[in-house]
Structure 1
Amino acid sequence: MAVATGTALLGSAIVGAGASIIGGNKAAKAQQQAAADANAVAERTSGQQLALQEKMFDKNVELLQPSIDAGNTSRNRLMQLLGLSPGGADNGSLMRDFSMADYQADPGHQFRIYQGQQALERSAAARGGLLSGAALKDTARFSQGLASQEYQSAFDRFNTNRSNKMNPLLSLAGSGQVASTTAGGAGQQYANSAGNILGTYSATAGQNITGAGNARASGYVNTANAINNGLGTAINGMQQNQLLELLKKKEGVV
């Protein structure tokens, strides 16, 4: 009778432990699946955010590239005209000093000489002394006076012309530099945003992995506890049953 009762108690304890194990394992698997689903959502979301950041960065570079290209072309041309890079028939032309040849070739100077000489010739012809000494003296005085007045004007026109060649190149080179700086800033912003997104995803994934591990460990603990509790219950029941049997025999109760 005691053996049968002990067997029944052990069987009942095993059934109870098995039910606890099954329930604990199901709960642990559900937690693991929830952690895996959350990790998949975090991965998909971070991927979409990275793709959007990359698209925005590429669009910024696309918009800035024409200015960057124009700036690079202008800078190269400017360096050539300043004699800072080799090549080109006009290499270093912007660094050339103003010379007498430039003064004599100045269009304004040539025009003023032509117009002044024509006026003197017409005046001398009207007086009937085109080749007279007075006419020659008037021409010499005019040329000397014109030279005095026009040299500074020709020099100023020379420098103005040089500035007119240089300033557009400087402007384009400057805008290219600004565009390059802006593109660099966009690249840094993209890198920062990508780092933040990946950092957030890594933290989330770490939490999900930890949660899955904890759930798995919890399942193992629940299994061990269920087995221990079942065995403990069965052993206690058997011990109590044996004690009861001994008491019955001692009192003469069969």
Structure 2
Amino acid sequence: MSFIGNAVGSITGSNKQAKAAQEASNQQYEATKYATDQQKQMFDEVRKDQQPYMQAGYDALKQLMGGMGQNGQFMQAYNGQDIYNDPSYKFRLNQGLDAVQGGAAAQGWLLSGATQKALNDYAQNFASQEYQNAYNRYNADQTNQYNRLSNLVGLGQSAAAGVGNAGMQTGQAIANNTMAGANAQAAGTIAAGNKTANNFNNLLGIGTAVAGMFI
């Protein structure tokens, strides 16, 4: 009878151990699910925070590519006639012409041919001197616009790269969590299977022992 008692005790003990193993595996599985949810939320927050910078870079890239297109502003060569549209050129030219006319008027030569020639000569010489200055200003303006857009593109690119890196890390972490959860559930299933097998063997032993008592 002691054998039967031991067998029954063994069945009871194995049931408790299997139940504890199953509960532990379930807890581990739930923990991996929680960790996955937290990591996903963190990634979503990173992506949300970086979205304005990525959008700024995207918009700047569209402008930059438009400016670099066939008829884009950054592909336009400087036109010598552009000097006449330069506000600073016009201002200085008018100041110089006014000075020539003022000097001629003071001497009573305002409407003379010499005054008209002096005005024409001044305008031509001034245009020649100012051409390089106007060209430099044009290039500087183009360069400044390009650099501003390029900097925004770089900012957006860095933000996108950061989100991509965070996405890869999150994906790897979620994959690891999934494997850990699967392993935990598998361990619980194996423990339950072992418990069933042990119980069957113990019951078989009890049956054999009981049968032997009546032989």
Relative to the length of structure 2, the TM-score reads: 0.90
Counterpart position of 2:108: 128
1:74–1:170 contact (8 Å) kept in structure 2? yes
Counterpart position of 2:97: 117
Which of 50, 60, 73 is the equivalent residue of 2:59? 73
1:16–1:230 contact (8 Å) kept in structure 2? no
Q: Matches of 2:123 and 2:147 in 1, distance apart?
A: 34
2:26–2:184 contact (8 Å) kept in structure 1? no
Counterpart position of 2:175: 195
Which string of whole-angstrom CA distances, capped at 9 and with x for unpartnered residues, describes residues 102-157 of structure 1?
Answer: 12111121112111100000011111111223222322321222122111111111
Greater C-alpha Rg: 1
* Secondary structure in 1 matching 2:133: helix
Which one-letter code corresponds to 1:115 in the other structure?
Q
Counterpart position of 2:193: 213
Displacement of 1:44 in angstroms is: 1.4
For structure 1, the 5+ residue unaligned runs are 1-14, 85-90, 239-254
Q: Matches of 2:78 and 2:195 in 1, distance apart?
A: 87
Counterpart position of 2:128: 148
| 56-65 vs 206-215, greater mean Cα deviation | 206-215
For structure 2, the 5+ residue unaligned runs are none
Q: What is the CA RMSD across the aligned residues, in angstroms?
A: 2.0
| 186-195 vs 158-167, greater mean Cα deviation | 158-167
Answer yes or no: is 1:41 the counterpart of 2:21. no
Q: Matches of 2:185 and 2:21 in 1, distance apart?
A: 9
2:68–2:74 contact (8 Å) kept in structure 1? yes
Identity of aligned residues (%): 31
Relative to the length of structure 1, the TM-score reads: 0.77
Which one-letter code corresponds to 1:40 in the other structure?
N
1:215-234 equivalences in 2 (<5 Å):
215-231=195-211, 234=213
Q: Matches of 1:225 and 1:18 in 2, distance apart?
A: 8
Displacement of 1:192 in angstroms is: 1.0
